[in-house]
Amino acid sequence: MISEVLSEIHLIQRQLADFNSRLSRGPKLIRLQESTVKQITARLEETRAEYHQLYQQAKFKEEQLTKREATLARRKTQMQEAKNNKEFQALKLQVSADETANSTLAEDALEAIEKAEKFAPNVAVIEQELQQVNETLKKTQESFSKEVPVIQASITQYSKRLKEAEKKLPGEFLNLYIRLARSMGGEQALASISSEQFCGGCRQIVPINFIAQVVQGKPVTCKSCGRILYVPEGFTVK
């Protein structure tokens, strides 16, 4: 029965479509994961740069404070060694001003250090995220590398089966099938009719007279989507 041949061909075409989909899906997934790695790497570089800036700011303020503390200590010594009261009072005022300024700078330095220390874990978090994504990418690449030969072997096997099945088609079916397979894609060239009289391709109702012609073994295409129609094994109309 011609419907059995069309059903066999359609099944093989669906299996081939699945194999080809798996073959193209792997590289797409790898490219997507590689893009993710690049994005996270860029984010990590930006975060490291931001942390470096915060660290340098804190370090600069610490160095400033160290220098000012040394200057303050020197002026205190000078104040103790003052030759007269006028010089002593002048140094005293300067020491007082330095102590106030140093106190403010010490607070700023401490705040800058705390800010850098608080920000530091952000770098570690992104580093861990990048490591995980790289590991996932590596596993995907290894898995797909092993899967490719198996898929290609299956495609070769089913392609041979398809050619053998296509040889069973009568001339009137074969010409129509070849034309539609080229224009629509092998899997899309065929559609089964459901027991509810729906086209399996577009889900539109198939007229009863069309179904009768299909059952009689005549080449019939869906008036909606253009697929070659066939009835599956054990087909009955509800």
Rounded to an integer, what distance in angstroms lies between the CA atom of residue 201 and that of residue 188? 7
Domains of the chain: 2-166 (1.10.287.1490), 171-230 (no CATH)
Q: What is the DSSP letter of 194?
A: P
Count Cβ atoms within 10 A of the Cβ of residue 78 and give its class: 0-12 exposed, 13-18 middle, 19 or more buried: middle
What's the pTM value of the predicted model, to 2 decimals?
0.73
Residue 24 has pLDDT above 90, yes or no: yes
What integer is the mean pLDDT of 172-196?
93
Rounded to an integer, what distance in angstroms lies between the CA atom of residue 128 and that of residue 137? 14
Residue 238 has pLDDT above 70, yes or no: no
Return the structure tokens found at 49. Answer: 């740069």
pLDDT per position as a tens digit, 26-76? 999 999 999 999 999 999 999 999 999 999 999 999 999 999 999 999 988
pLDDT at 166: 95
